[in-house]
Structure 1
Amino acid sequence: MVTVLYPADGASIGRYPIASQMTAGTAAGFGEFAPLGNPQLPTAGVDWAATLTHAHVGAPAQAVRRPVVLYSPGGGDPRTLGTYIAEELASRGYVVVAIDHPGDAAAVEFPITTSYRHKLVRTTEFRANPWTQPDVYRTLIAARLADTRFVMDQLELLARGHNPDAAGHPIPRHLPQALDLARVGMYGHSAGGTAAAEAAYDDRRIRAVVNMEGYLDYPPDQRGRPGPLFPVVQHGLDRPMLLLGTDGFRDANIDRSWSAMLAHPGQRTRRRQIDDAMHWVFSDFAAMVPQLQADGLMTAEGRDQMVGAIDPGRSVPAVRSDVLRFFERTLPGE
């Protein structure tokens, strides 16, 4: 499952419905399973299906060739939890393809059932932090890399006029013409950042990458020993990469693997840091969690553990700006 956000034809956009952030099925699964990975979140009192986006479903695209940017969310997160960055990029002239990873994300809602999937909603297989289970973590990243290759292949078919929609829904007008697959980037958060970095190493169709606080080493097989580095770190990347982190989540694994990435000759990788922040500031939790705390549904300590003390009026523009400016330099528009 993917969401594609793109600059729309403003003359007709008002005739198309505003998109919700999550479908009802995804929201129900998210409300049940997201607190397992983030116990700071409330288990009741939130209507996760109520949030609207700034996008309109099915609106015609502007008939202009645009750079394409893929997005992979954090472990356990649905693709829609990266809406605040995706909308910013789309509003600035990019086609953003947000990818769900079924079995990984808290919940994924499909448009149809199949012979091997009898329900529309698939919930996560995770009941513990995959980083503590090396075999599970390897499978998680391998699945995300396979998902990314599949989506890239489908985008090539779409650009040639094929319709990859599983339910046969019509493609928005001019969308195939808007895809410039010679200018493809990828960004991701946490496990999605790891997958984005390694996907760029594996697939030369990806020309620039942003890793938002994803480890670039595997979990150690033996406690007390460092885990092996990903191939992208071992061999380097001959295309631009931004390592975007926080002061609150920074640890020995981040420093070791990111420093090894930065040490490669050629200086194609850069690092930036958001201060007074924590790991989920790179997701829509950056704006949601402070509101939940203000409404008494989370503690101040829980807020700090998820997004840090930084005000969303600072964190959201800062992250948007860092990601946008990187892609403006590496995947310039028309």
Structure 2
Amino acid sequence: MRHLLAAAAGLAILAASACSAPAPPRTDATPSAAPTGPAVLPAPTGPHPVATTTLYLNDTSRPDPWNLDADTRELKVTLWYPTEQRHGQRAPYMTPKESQLAMRRYGIAGVPDDMLSRTRTNAIKDAEPTGQKLPLVVLSPGFTNPMSTLTSLAEDLASRGYVVAGIDHTYESYATTFPDGRIAECLACDSDTDPGFGAGLVAGRAADVSFVLDQLPAKWNGSDRIDRSRTAMVGQSIGGASTMATMVNDPRVRAGIDMDGTTYARIPKTGLSRPFLFLGSARHVSAGPAPTWDRDWKLLTGWKRWIVLSGAEHQSFTDTPLLADALGIKPLPGVLPAPRAAELTRTYVAAFLDQHLKSRRQPLLDKPSARHPEAKFCPAGCGQS
């Protein structure tokens, strides 16, 4: 996996290990152009207005794996869902303090610390849900990234008639804010070079997901609108790896997508028969997650696809490129433009979920599309073995 950092020449992609925190910022890691003002996330493409709310869950059955002083595992879960309400207070993208921590972590100077907190979202805060028997999609972000970095995808899925549960895996990102004002920073970043770190990380995230699935009916007053027999999971980077780990251990997750994440959990020799999509960047065909994807591809015995987006980088599947103009950062030449990357990600993720959770056949997933020439299909896997 890779982490996107700003550099004076543009949006520089710095190579990192599968789970490592971003490398220390370079001395020239400053904006290369004047910021354009707060970012605006692209409008959702589905027919429904979108709402969002936040839950805080506490797993008393296990201690926190990163904070040795915590006897329980606290989690923040953000829900996005369809609503009939079209007007109201927009949900914040992140808090000013979270924005400040993000700017410092990624070495961005010359921009107000609260710039990311001013990002305009599309979801109405705490609006009433609408719809019945809605499929559920769990989202898991990349290592060091908060759940907010997948907001554009979450809003789009909600507008298409899904309930989306995005998990902030505590102490694994630069900031998770709890109701009492506590901010959990990235304690896991201090351990990312330890032997077995990746396998342990995805095992912990799989436990987080299973706990959230256990708790959701009791903790959200709109949970009666969810069809829990239709649950999928989508993750980026280590979140994608955690999708595989979760599916190996929890049969409630019927289908999964790994967006550009090296996998760690091993599929049993008997195989995994539930639908799975590898959605990756071209630079990772011969490096990054490709070797583990090639290994796992052979053990995926059900419906499967491996799709590579030409010009995509590791963070192209997140909101990060959409925020670049607000930070005064120019993209590197040849990189897939942010709006197009968001469109492709939304399109292929939604097609997969519509086919496997709503039983709506999607020809887009069967062969290359003239409307989406960046998407390369790898019918026998794209790995080198």
Q: What is the identity percentage for the equivalent residue pairs of Structure 1 and Structure 2?
A: 28
Residue pairs, 1:140-219, within 5 angstroms: 140-155=201-216, 158=217, 162=218, 164=219, 171=220, 175-217=222-264
Structure 2 residue 354 is matched with structure 1 residue 328? yes
Alignment length (residue pairs): 283
Q: Give the one of 88, 94, 97 matched to 1:25.
A: 97
Greater than 6 Å deviation, 4+ residue runs: none
Go from structure 1 to structure 2 and tell me whether the alpha carbon gap of 1:320 and 1:153 turns closer, same or farther (over 3 Å shift). same
Q: What is residue 258 of structure 1 aligned with on the other side?
A: 293
Aligned amino acid, residue 119 of structure 2: T
Q: What is residue 83 of structure 1 aligned with on the other side?
A: 151
| Contact in 2 for aligned 1:67/1:333 (Cα 8 Å) | no
Q: What is residue 183 of structure 2 aligned with on the other side?
A: 121
| Contact in 2 for aligned 1:67/1:183 (Cα 8 Å) | yes
Q: Partners in 2 of 1:135 and 1:42 — Cα distance?
A: 31
Q: Give the one of 100, 107, 111 matched to 1:45.
A: 111
| Contact in 2 for aligned 1:261/1:269 (Cα 8 Å) | no
Go from structure 1 to structure 2 and tell me whether the alpha carbon gap of 1:272 and 1:137 turns closer, same or farther (over 3 Å shift). same
* TM-score where L is the length of structure 2: 0.68
Structure 2 residue 142 is matched with structure 1 residue 107? no
Go from structure 1 to structure 2 and tell me whether the alpha carbon gap of 1:127 and 1:265 turns closer, same or farther (over 3 Å shift). closer
In terms of fraction of residues, the more helix-rich structure is: 1
Aligned amino acid, residue 71 of structure 1: L
Offset, 1:235: 4.5
| Contact in 1 for aligned 2:284/2:290 (Cα 8 Å) | no
Structure 2: gaps spanning 5 or more residues: 1-75, 361-385
* 1:50-77 deviation digits (Å, cap 9, x = unpaired): 1121001110101422000000000000
Q: Partners in 2 of 1:151 and 1:71 — Cα distance?
A: 11
Offset, 1:27: 2.2
Offset, 1:133: 3.3
Greater CA drift, 248-257 or 16-25? 248-257
* TM-score where L is the length of structure 1: 0.78
| Contact in 2 for aligned 1:93/1:333 (Cα 8 Å) | no
Q: Partners in 1 of 2:210 and 2:150 — Cα distance?
A: 20
Q: What is residue 115 of structure 1 aligned with on the other side?
A: none
Structure 2 residue 330 is matched with structure 1 residue 268? no
Q: Partners in 2 of 1:202 and 1:3 — Cα distance?
A: 23
Q: What is residue 116 of structure 1 aligned with on the other side?
A: none
Q: Partners in 2 of 1:73 and 1:246 — Cα distance?
A: 16
Offset, 1:142: 2.3
Aligned amino acid, residue 32 of structure 1: R
Offset, 1:126: 4.3
Q: What is residue 195 of structure 2 aligned with on the other side?
A: 134
